[in-house]
A = this chain, B = another copy of it.
Amino acid sequence: MGCIESNVSAGFQPSASADAVLALVRESCRPLEPERVPLRDALGRVLREPVGAPEDQPPFDRSAVDGCAIRLDESSNQFRIVDEIRAGDWKPRQLRPGEAVRIATGGALPGDGLQVVMKEDVQAEGALIRLTRREAGRNIRFRGEDARAGQVLVENGTILQPGTLGLLASLGCARPLVTRLPRVLHAATGNEIVPPEQTPQRGQIRDSNSTLVRAFLKQWGVEPTQLRVPEDEAAAKSAIGNPPSTIDSADLLLLSGGASVGEHDFTRRLLEDLGFVVRVSKTTMRPGKPLIVAQRGHAMAFGLPGNPLAHFVCLNICVRAALDGFSGRPSEPSVQRGVLAADLDAGANVRETFWPARWQLRDGAAVLTPLRWSSSGDLTALASANALLRVARGAARLAQGSPVEFISTLPFP
C-alpha cells in the first residue's frame, strides 16, 4: 500500500466501460444445469422445460353454476330430479325428456347435449321442479375450452411467479425442472471493519457490505457462504480455499474490499493465486472504478470495491447480470427510460456515473428522483434508493423533466 510504488499492474489493462463489463459477464455466465424441485421451493426460479396440459383443460364438461342439468332439446318446463352431482362425482347417465339432475358448480356433466339452468331459475313443486326462466346460455365450462391436451401452457424460460406455480400445479407438474441456484462464496476483507453489533474503535468502521451482499443475493433465493478473511494473502487464500471443495464448487466468488490501491492489488493477486484469470481490473464506472472481474472455467469472480455505494452499484449492475446469466433468465431490457422529477447537478464527471435514485410510476410514466450522495463511501442514499440513474460522462446539469436512462434495483423488471 506504500504510496511510492508505481502502480504498474493497473497500467496494463485499459479501463472497461459498464457496457463492456456487462457484455463480458453475459457472454461468460451461462445457465447452470437444471434440477427438479417441489413447487413450494420454485418461486422465482427459471423453468427449463415447456409444460403442457396432460389432458384437456378442463378435463371434462363442468357446470359453471349451481343448478339443474336438463336436455338441450327439452321442451317441458317441469322436471323430475333423478340424481344429484357434486363436484368430484362422476355419474354419467343418459337424461330422458322430463328428467333433471341437480348439479353443483364444478360438477361433471352426466352426458352430452345438456344445459344447466341456474338454481335461481327453478322452483320446487312437490317432487317436481318447475323452470321460472330459461336462459340461452348453457352454463357449462366445456372440456378443452381453456387448452387442449399436449398444448404448451408454460414456456421454457418462464420465471415462476405465484400464478405460474398455481398453473403448474393444475397441470400436475409437481416438481418442475428449473435452473439450480448458483453456489456463492462471499469473503469480506479489510482490517478496519468490525461486525455491525460491535462498537468500532477509532479508525475502524462497521462492516455494511456483508449485510448488503447477503440481502442482495437473498432476493434471488441465493444463500451465500460468508467469510471474513484477513488482509494477508497466504491466510486469505487458505481461508477461502479451505476446504478446497468450497472454492472449487463455487459458481460465483465475491470479494468485498479493495477500495484502496493496496487492497485492490491484494484482491487481484488473491484471485490469481486461486487460479482465476483477471479479465477486468479497472472500469470507467463511477462509483465502481476499481472493480475486478475474473474467471476460472465456468466460475466468475468479482472483486467489489469496498466503498458501500460502489458495492451497491457493482452488485446491481454486474453481479445481477451474472445471476441472470447463471439462471437463464430471459434478458429483459435492463436499462429503462424515464424522466427526472427534479433538477440534477451531475457535475460533468469524466466517468459514466450511476447515480442513486428513487423511481416510481406517476400517471403511467416512470419518474426518477435523484438522491444526494457525497462520495462512494456515503451510503445514506441507500435508505430509499431503488434505481440507478445512468448519467453520461461529461453531463453537467440535467433539468427536471429531462429524459434519463435508469436501472431498477428491484428484483423485478
List of B residues within 8 angstroms of A106 by Cβ: 190, 192, 205, 259-260, 306, 377
Nearest chain B CB to A296's CB is how many angstroms away? 27
**Nearest chain-B residue to A51 (Cβ)?**
B383
CA distance A90 to B124 in the complex (A): 92
| Contact of B170 with A103 in the complex, beta carbons under 8 Å | no
Once A88-B204, A122-B4, A172-B206 are accepted as A-B contacts, the answer to whether A163 and B262 lie under 8 Å apart by CB is no
Complex Cα spacing A350 to B290, Å: 61
Per-residue B-contact encoding for A66-100, CB less than 8 Å = 1, 0 else = 11100000000000010010111111000000000
Given A4-B123, A260-B105, A361-B366, verify A172-B147 contact (CB < 8 Å): no
In the complex, what residues of B have CB within 8 A of residue A5's CB?
Answer: 119
Please measure, in the bound complex, the distance between the C-alpha atom of A43 and the C-alpha atom of B91, giving whole angstroms. 52
For residue A229, give the distance in angstroms from its CB to the closest CB of chain B.
14
Looking at the assembled complex, report how far the CB atom of A60 sits from the nearest CB atom of chain B, in whole angstroms.
7
Name the B residues within 8 Å of A191 (CB-CB): 86-88
Q: With an 8 A cutoff between CB atoms, is A111 at the interface?
A: no
Residues 124 to 162 of chain A near chain B (Cβ within 8 Å):
124, 129, 141, 145-147, 153-155, 158, 161-162
Bound complex: CA A204 to CA B59 (Å): 9
CB within 8 Å of B: which A1-24 residues: 1-5, 7
Do A3 and B87 contact each other (CB < 8 Å), given the known contacts A104-B262, A312-B166?
Answer: no
At the interface, yes or no: A255 with Cβ under 8 Å from chain B?
no
Taking the nearest CB of chain B, how far is it from the CB of A409, in angstroms? 7
Contact among B43, B200, B339 with A218 in the assembled complex (CB-CB below 8 Å): B43
State whether A162 and B66 are in contact (beta carbons under 8 Å apart), knowing that A192-B106, A203-B89, A214-B40 are contacts in the complex: no
Interface residues on chain A, number (Cβ under 8 Å) = 128
In the complex, what's the smallest C-beta–C-beta distance from A315 to chain B, in angstroms?
8
* CB-CB nearest in chain B for A119: B3
B contact residues around A175 at 8 Å (CB): 197
Task: Given the known inter-chain contacts A120-B7, A166-B312, A337-B363, please indicate yes or no for A146 contacting B383, CB distance below 8 A.
Answer: no
Judged by a CB distance under 8 angstroms, whether A245 is at the interface is no
Interfacial chain B residues near A379, Cβ < 8 Å: 146, 163, 166-167, 170
A337, B364: Cβ atoms closer than 8 Å: yes
Q: Counting CB contacts under 8 A, is A392 at the interface?
A: no
Note all chain B residues with C-beta closer than 8 A to A208: 166-167, 169-170
Max chain B CB contacts within 10 Å: which of A58, A65, A195, A377? Answer: A377
Confirm or deny: A375 has a beta carbon within 8 angstroms of a beta carbon on chain B: yes
Complex: A80 Cα to B384 Cα, angstroms = 46
With A7-B120, A91-B203, A146-B375 already in contact, 15 other A-B pairs whose C-beta atoms are closer than 8 Å: A2-B102, A4-B102, A87-B192, A90-B203, A106-B190, A106-B192, A106-B259, A145-B375, A145-B378, A146-B378, A161-B385, A162-B212, A164-B383, A167-B380, A337-B363
Please list 10 pairs of residues, one from A and one from B, whose beta carbons are closer than 8 Å in the complex, sorted by A's number: A3-B67, A4-B81, A88-B193, A104-B260, A163-B382, A165-B212, A169-B212, A336-B364, A365-B366, A410-B412
